[in-house]
Structure 1
Amino acid sequence: MSTVMEAPRTDPLPPVVHTAAMLWLAAVAFGAFETVLMVAQLLYEGTATVAELLPQAGIRLAVFAAAVFLALRLRRGENWARLTLAVTLGIFGTLSLVIGPVQWLLAGGSIGEAVAGADVMGLIFAGSRIMHVVAVLGAVTLMFQPRANAYFKRPARLPAP
């Protein structure tokens, strides 16, 4: 029984894959920024303690670290990373970002009402959330462009020594 290993990639990184990876990193940055804003606001208002926020912050940190790891693997042409990003963060992550606002809109809220009643922190958070979602949707779209698909085709395999 022989083991196989992937041949090293010699083809250049397509711009769409590079941009997709950068958009994933931007999404992580926006997510981290939103987390800092949320934690700061909850601590400032006194509605939560540091001990109460640590588990949520730890989970977010793990997700951010995984996203960075996957984005770097994406750049290397590893298709499993592309598929993992698309399913976990592209689908479920996006749903987690938009479900609250969509439910609020369906319950009769309006964007005009939200903007009129928002404070500076709310506007900054909303702007970051919008950019976060745009970065994720852009990354997913670019990851499946024809040039990206060609880059992610299974590389030639060589028998291991």
Structure 2
Amino acid sequence: MRSDMGIPGTVRAAFIVWLVAVAAGVFETVLVVGSGRAGDGAGAGVAVRAAIFVAATLVALKMRTGRRWARLTLAVGLGVLGTLSLIVGPLLWLIHGHSLTPLLAHATALDLTFGSSRVVHVAAVLAGCVLMFVPSANAYFRDPHPAS
């Protein structure tokens, strides 16, 4: 693995925001399970999320070392598919004519905490995707890297 000195700042920043996204996902899972709102099948849902969080972290580590496949996996897997899984439900809810005003008026502290975490989560994913494809990152991913 290269030393941090050989890794562009944009790639280091992308790695950090990917970890922020994973941490936000873990936090959201803990909130939902801890609140009792997870419902039936919570164990399976937690297991799936845990596997995704571990895989995302491992792939982000590989992205940091310049692996092109890891950058692509993060961009498509989490940047596209993961983001869609986070925003489709709320977007459909809004499209069906619901309003944020009554939702926010009746929101609990848990609801607001979860919503804030989700905003951080989505912002971190989008930032990670952008940072992985700026010119300095593109040059880093074009350079050959020893297998690891």
Same fold (TM over 0.5): yes
Unpaired runs of at least 5, structure 2 = none
Amino acid at match of 1:25: L
Give 3-state SS (helix, strand or coil) of 2:6's partner.
Answer: coil
Amino acid at match of 2:111: G
Q: Is the aligned partner of 1:65 residue 2:54?
A: yes
Of residues 57, 76, 100 in structure 1, which corresponds to 2:89?
100
The residue aligned with 1:30 is 24
Q: What is the root-mean-square deviation of aligned Cα atoms in Å? A: 1.8
Unpaired runs of at least 5, structure 1 = 1-7
* Count of residues in correspondence between the two structures: 145
Question: Shift in Å at residue 42 of structure 1?
Answer: 2.1
Amino acid at match of 1:48: G
Distance 1:149 1:115, change over 3 A: same
The residue aligned with 1:139 is 128
CA deviations over 1:99-128 (Å, ceiling 9, x no partner): 111011101122222211211000000000
Asked which structure has the greater CA Rg, the reply is 1
Q: Which aligned segments of 4 or more residues in structure 1 are displaced greater than 4 angstroms?
A: 8-11
- TM-score, normalization: structure 2? 0.91
The residue aligned with 1:3 is none
Aligned mates of 2:116, 2:96 — CA distance in 1: 22
Aligned mates of 1:113, 1:38 — CA distance in 2: 21
- TM-score, normalization: structure 1? 0.84
Of residues 66, 78, 87 in structure 1, which corresponds to 2:76?
87
The residue aligned with 2:104 is 115
